[in-house]
Structure 1
Amino acid sequence: MAHIVDLRSDTVTKPNKLMKHAMVNSAVGDDVYGEDPTVNALESKVATLLGKQAALFLPTATMANLVAVMVHCNKRGSEVLVGSKAHIYKYEQGGASHVAGTLLSTVENKPDGTFDLAEAERRIQGSDIHEPVTTMIAIENTHNVCGGKVVPQDWIDAVGALCKKYSLALHMDGSRLMNASVQSGVPAERIVRDCDSVTLCFSKGLGAPAGAALAGSYHFIQQARRARKMVGGGMRQSGVLAAPALVALEHGLPALALDHKRADRLAQIIHGLFLKNFTVDVAGRHTNIVLVRIPDASALTADVVLQRLAQVSRAETQGDCKTADDEGVIVKGSCFTPKLMRFVTHCDVTDEDLWLAIMKVTYVFKELDAKYPISQ
């Protein structure tokens, strides 16, 4: 028996009692006909929250991003400029190209989640008959691969100005937008002021079991509703999923600050171990994501670390790596690269879970640090 602390992602959360109650008691109708009152209420709430004219409920943020590309880039062969580490580019199976017929062209992401706007401007195409026509720029906030970074607001504003200059659409993958808003203290409406469309995910951070929203102008959402139907996202009595999303918006936002605080505690502890095989950029950690790096000179890999964290040895259960019931502890994380691990705090991680995870991580990291010397 072992107590599992799952820090792979904030998508692993289970719906709480309020969400389950809302699901059972939700008023429903056929959303494809626009007749689900709970969905309509959620879409109205999201539009107001983000300062947009309208919003659309979809099953996932991946579909929401795809639909945004399909609407903004409605001529096949259009080009989208996107960061080299963006979720749209790295983790959505190239759907923008495969389904929407667009070319995803990358601009190298900086560690803070931004990219060079001078380079982006040089990369805008369409004046030459041989070139694809650049139609859209996509940005991400918070930035997942860059460690949950809150992207600087002045940079977002500058991207908006660049898009207006060249009549390009600006889309924000704001799957964890509310984390960015809570951490920065900037209202979500202000963050996305210059964005023509924005995706918001309810199952990341906010703790709902499923669902995302896409917000924009009335005309954009009208076209997005057609695209959603095309890719199979037109659900029927989807109020049962919209209901927990409403609960997440109403009750889940205050908990995000606690998630950030717990992630900071984990990062500080790992940093304070002063181990040669494990480093954390404490100053650069913003929200609920902790990235742990292993030096290139080490023979140790992230897979080995995660496999060890998933094991319970007899020796560790004789110390602090156990629960009050003498259960061992397993910590789950995710591997980004052979030398990079991610741990994500969320609403299902309690203070006790965090303490147990810290004890386990401390034990395993020290054990592996002694086992794997750094090559000189």
Structure 2
Amino acid sequence: MSRPDDIFALTGLQAPPLSGAKVRLNSTYGSPADYAQAIDELRAVFPPEDVSTDPAVLDAHGRLAGYNESFPHSVVVVPRSTEDVVRIVNISRKYRVPVVAYGGGTSLEGHFYGTDAKGICVDMSAMSKVLELHEADADLVCQAGAKWTDINAVLKEKGIPLFFPLDPAIGASIGGMISTGCSGTNAVRYGTAKGEWFLNATVVLPSGEVIKTRRRSRKCSAGFDTLRLFLGAEGTLGIMTEVTIRLAPLLPTRVAVVQFPSVEHATRASIEALNYGVNLQCIELLDALTMKTLNAYEARTWPEKDSLFIKIQGATPAFIEESARILRAVAEKHGGTDFEFAATEAQAEELWLARKNSFYAGYAMFPGAKAVETDVWSASLSA
């Protein structure tokens, strides 16, 4: 096993804090000459197209639109196998260069950002294959760079009535979703990454060792759940290369949009609908300003009111209709108007696309703005 300072060198746990003030690089890291040697060795091990120090590439992998301070990495490396990741980790440890794993690059919180210590960015995008599909067991093995949207597209193309329900940003990768403990609009029905959606993983540790967190067996009382150590660890404990995920039945859904006189009214309606037991898959609040940005971004014109975007899910049309009836009654009780249900799948996709576009619509209306992630208890909004 590696010494503690080796672990720090890989994960950046001792990196200097991000601030506007000029800071000195932590002595745990290598010297500029060490960094240069590390890059030379990476170039000797990997094909030229898989190692880049191009400023544009470094910048694209080191920052996004979030508010956190960020810096470009020293080098971006694209592994294509677990063995490649081991090689990168061993080189980083040898020269004491920090490593940051890069999945889909969709994080607003800055999980893949570079720091003023710079270092090696491990771009997992080339490790995106679906390796095994076990329909009878409702699970799937994929490489960590696979995107949840692509996995669901593969299942749909094969006509398999299953899907992976966690749905953070479009383009998020499975490895990144585990590392950040992701959520998504489906969390109302299916929970977050902290649920049992990730069954096991192959992980390259800071020492360069490769472990598998558990076997495929769904029920096993022996030992502790090692995968939980890596869930939400943001890459500080290792880099995942393969993951087994659990799939859910793909049930029929209906999409609805309803407007309210205020955020408080919309929040009270959502709380009552959830507590009433309406079988909701998603319920998302877009305030009046967000609806205004959508009108400037999309061809469709929306009422510029505080609105709920809702998905109802059920095994039968009768079940969905009953849930819709209850939901409509609850919404009207709290001042809901213009209750719109999608009649077809195409209409449902159009309605829900507005929810997915809301982030980009906000940026389009306020160029140069920074994204700030917030979490507020729904009961607090209704106060």
User: Quick check: which one's helix share is greater?
Assistant: 1
TM-score normalised by L of structure 1: 0.30
Q: Report which structure shows greater RCO (CA 8 Å, sep ≥6).
A: 1
TM-score normalised by L of structure 2: 0.29
